[in-house]
Amino acid sequence: MSRKNKNKKSLAEKADKYSLYQQSVQSPEHEVEFFVQAYKDAYRKNPTMLREDFCGTFAICCEWVKLKNSNQALGVDLDPEPLDWGRQNNLAKLTTSQQKRVRLVEQDVRKRNRPQADVLAAQNFSFWIFKTRAEVVEYFKIARSNLKSQGIMVMDMMGGSDCFIEDHTDKRTIVKGRKGFKYYWYQARFDPISHDTSFYISFKFPDGSKLKNAFEYHWRFWSTPEIQEMLAEAGFRESHVYWEETDEDGEDTGEFLKVDTAENAPSWISYIVAVK
């Protein structure tokens, strides 16, 4: 092997894990569309102020202020690294006017801030980092205080028997071709007694290189009724489940409807919307 080839970096070494994450996991356009729908369901009017807890690279905040000139967003996260990445790669792509309507706070989400929000989002199962009932209820109480008198809290949930399989990897091709990559979701551990779980995200590239365990999560796997009970304990007036519709072939449509019951499935995604 020549020295030139030996020193050449692999695609994994050159990869940007936050860019890969946003391409693989996030759909900000869909998220903000759902937030507006859920708020209208609750209050029959449009929301303008969004708070994104555990915001990471705050792509949703950026999409929110692009939606309407009157929209404002507050992103809250404890980790400075994704916040800095978001400033350079997401915020920088907005117009000057849009940038002024995004505020970022580096802190624990369990603090009160102003202004209060119409919609508080805790996406990508992020609050599952809290592993005891007391911690979750405390967070929900603070989240409720960070909402206006007419406000909603939105969080996504996952479940189904497939989610509990240990040493299992789901693979998806995100972008095809020489500059493409594959996304790997690895379910490493599930404890049936404590519901402690460990999940990892990795990426693989056409040259065979792999960005292993680019993201890791050590959560408690919470169920829908547990969350709804804790929301009520925290003072929310009501909460609703929005379930993803399927087409005639049983394929997910990306549309979510408010339901009281749902058919069981090996794997599912839903939203819980709590109304203040």
User: Do 201 and 228 fall within a single domain?
Assistant: no
Quick one: pLDDT band at residue 5, thresholds 50, 70, 90? Answer: low
pTM of the full structure: 0.92
Cα 156 from Cα 126, distance rounded (Å): 9
CB 244 within 8 A of CB 252: yes
Whether the pLDDT of residue 7 is over 80: the answer is no
Tell me how many domains the chain contains. 2
186 lies in which domain range?
161-219
User: Do 212 and 92 fall within a single domain?
Assistant: no
Whether the pLDDT of residue 255 is over 80: the answer is yes
Quick one: pLDDT band at residue 48, thresholds 50, 70, 90? Answer: very high
pLDDT greater at residue 259 or residue 245 = 259
Instruction: Kindly give, in sequence order, each residue whose CB lies less than 8 Å from that of residue 96, ignoring residues fewer than 6 positions away.
Output: none
User: Do 97 and 109 fall within a single domain?
Assistant: yes
Whether the pLDDT of residue 238 is over 90: the answer is yes
User: Do 55 and 133 fall within a single domain?
Assistant: yes
User: Do 208 and 167 fall within a single domain?
Assistant: yes
User: Do 180 and 263 fall within a single domain?
Assistant: no
Instruction: Kindly give, in sequence order, each residue whose CB lies less than 8 Å from that of residue 214, ignoring residues fewer than 6 positions away.
Output: 17, 20, 21, 201, 202, 203
User: Do 213 and 229 fall within a single domain?
Assistant: no
What average pLDDT does the chain have? 93
The answer to whether residue 241 sits within a structural domain is yes
User: Do 126 and 261 fall within a single domain?
Assistant: yes
pLDDT tens digits, one per residue of 66-93:
999 999 999 999 999 999 999 999 999 9
Across residues 111-138, what is the average pLDDT?
A: 96
pLDDT tens digits, one per residue of 217-230:
999 999 999 999 99
pLDDT tens digits, one per residue of 139-172:
999 999 999 999 999 999 999 999 999 999 999 9
The answer to whether residue 52 sits within a structural domain is yes
Amino acid at 91: L
User: Do 120 and 24 fall within a single domain?
Assistant: yes
What was the pLDDT predicted at 251?
67
What was the pLDDT predicted at 96?
97
User: Do 58 and 83 fall within a single domain?
Assistant: yes
